[in-house]
Amino acid sequence: MSRKKYNSNHKVVLITGASSGIGRATAELLLQKGYIVYGLARNSEALQKIKGLRLIPGDMKDEKSLESAAKKICDEQGRIDVLINNAGYGLLGAVEDIPIEQARRQFEVNVFGLARLTQLVLPSMREAGSGLIINMSSVGGRVYFPLGAWYHASKHAIEGFSDSLRLELQEYNIKLVVIEPGLIATNFYKLAEEPLTRYSSNGAYSGMAKAISHNLSQSYRTMSPPSVVAHKVATIIESKHPRRRYLVGKLARVLFYTRYLLGDGVFEQIAKKQTR
């Protein structure tokens, strides 16, 4: 339908989880730079407050809404140049305490929703002979802390998924980049604290849960702003040869290199201090 739009110099970007935090900061920055930006999130009221954003209310657990989102953009623009898989949340609590249905929901949003939307976007990228997918992982996809098993598992899954998919897409000139944020000042920690308190604050792991909750609240004031990730996303989009991975924000590099240079033994001693 729109060859005219297809030849536009403005890249078409789809961001999931665009209503707050990293997603919102990224959407606002890319809009300032002149990109055509579509934002997908459940909170349509928050999306409406982002001036210039083309909003798509949707849920990462709802396959039909993902299908509608991909179709809407391709119908209106003729292609999707950049997919930013940003939507996700953290489920904190002891493995023994977390109901398995909550663990499944963690994977439905963080992994399977990401994977399904990627499947839906890839045909238009292959047809265009180019494209960029940015998967928002976490330094938690490479390191680990107690009471975060399900969250870490979902982010480790994104890392493996992304590496394999990158190899599949190379012959079609589609790039895949993983961003691994460290401590970023968003609602992530407040939302993650709720299941931590609900499931693990009164049982066998209560001491550990209270210590982690306290440490998170204390560190929030010194976390990096979401804008540091947004600027990194813009740099990646504008780069002809982006790297496979980017560590961004407070403690991302420190945590990564502590584990991989000093080993798991030293890293686990540091991780245990968060439970005291």
Rounded Cα–Cα distance for residues 89 and 20 (Å): 12
- Tens of pLDDT, residues 169-192: 999 999 999 999 999 999 999 899
- Tens of pLDDT, residues 191-241: 999 999 999 999 999 999 999 999 988 888 899 999 999 999 999 999 999
Domains and CATH numbers, the chain: 3-275 (3.40.50.720)
Please report, to the nearest 10 degrees, the dihedral formed by the alpha carbons of residues 75, 78, 80, 81 taken in order.
Answer: -170
Q: Counting runs of H as helices and runs of E as strands, what totals does the chain give?
A: 12, 7
- Tens of pLDDT, residues 75-97: 999 999 999 999 999 999 999 99
Please report, to the nearest 10 degrees, the dihedral formed by the alpha carbons of residues 187, 189, 195, 199 taken in order.
Answer: -160
- Tens of pLDDT, residues 216-230: 888 888 999 999 999
Element (H, E) at 175: strand 174-181
pLDDT of residue 275: 81
Rounded Cα–Cα distance for residues 89 and 87 (Å): 7
User: pTM for the complete prediction?
Assistant: 0.95
pLDDT of residue 67: 97
pLDDT category at 112 given cuts 50, 70, 90 is very high
C-beta atoms surrounding 114 within 10 Å: 28
- Annotated catalytic residue 246: no
Cβ-contact 91, 192 below 8 angstroms: yes
Identified catalytic residue from 35, 38, 144, 151: 151
Which residue type does 128 have? A
